[in-house]
Amino acid sequence: MKDKFNEIERFLEGILPDSKITTFMKIIKFPSTVSDFLFEIKIKRFLSEIDRITQGKKDKFMKKIKNKNDLKDLGFKLLNIINDSDDENKCVLISRLFILFIEEKLNERDFFRISYLINRSYYKDLFALKSFSNHNTICTGDSIADKDVLESLFSYGFIENRGIDGGNSNLNSGGTIYSINRYGIIVRDIL
């Protein structure tokens, strides 16, 4: 376990402000308050996914960001995103997004935007995005996904309103029609 912390510490040294790395590692090793304990859990969940990235990809990512201040700013923002998360499972999703960012499958702006949207959402609602795997659109009257969950996903920014279905005489009750947007597709695919 000690070797794992040393490896993590070396990786984080490049992206965290110099004065923060010592404090950060102390928090991980010896939590003293409830918030430190919760932060430790979130960080461990985040890092559990980062382990899937090869050292070569990590090194390439570090070289890509030429300015050391930009790298430290990225690390600071990343810590804030993790800290703002109210569910440790969201940290896993954010970690998977970060992997996409490191692998250049996601740009920085979208990484931060989607991370923000994930943190705004109720974690279990995100699984309704999987309902869009077999359907281009879902209507609140279709009973494919819960109406309240669809409305929440719309307010979080993962799906778009495509209008109203007035229903028909075959007992189709109609309702609001939603389709998944590109942010929703990315989150659906990392769930």
Confidence (pLDDT) at 180: 95
Instruction: Tokens for 43, please give them.
Output: 């960080």
Residue extent(s) of CATH 1.10.10.10 domains in the chain = 123-190
The pLDDT assigned to 149 comes to 94
Residue 1 is predicted with a pLDDT of 45
pLDDT number for residue 16: 60
Topology of domain 123-190 in CATH is: Arc Repressor Mutant, subunit A (1.10.10)
Which string of b and e fits 45-73 if b means at least 16 CB within 10 Å? bbbebbeebeeeeeeebeeebeeeeebbe
pLDDT along the chain (191 residues), means of 10: 55 59 58 78 90 86 78 87 96 96 94 97 96 84 86 96 76 81 96 95
User: Tell me, what's the pLDDT at 37?
Assistant: 83
Q: How far is CA 113 from CA 76, 90, 120, 170, in A?
A: 16, 14, 11, 42
The DSSP letter of residue 85 is -
In this prediction, residue 9 carries a pLDDT of 59
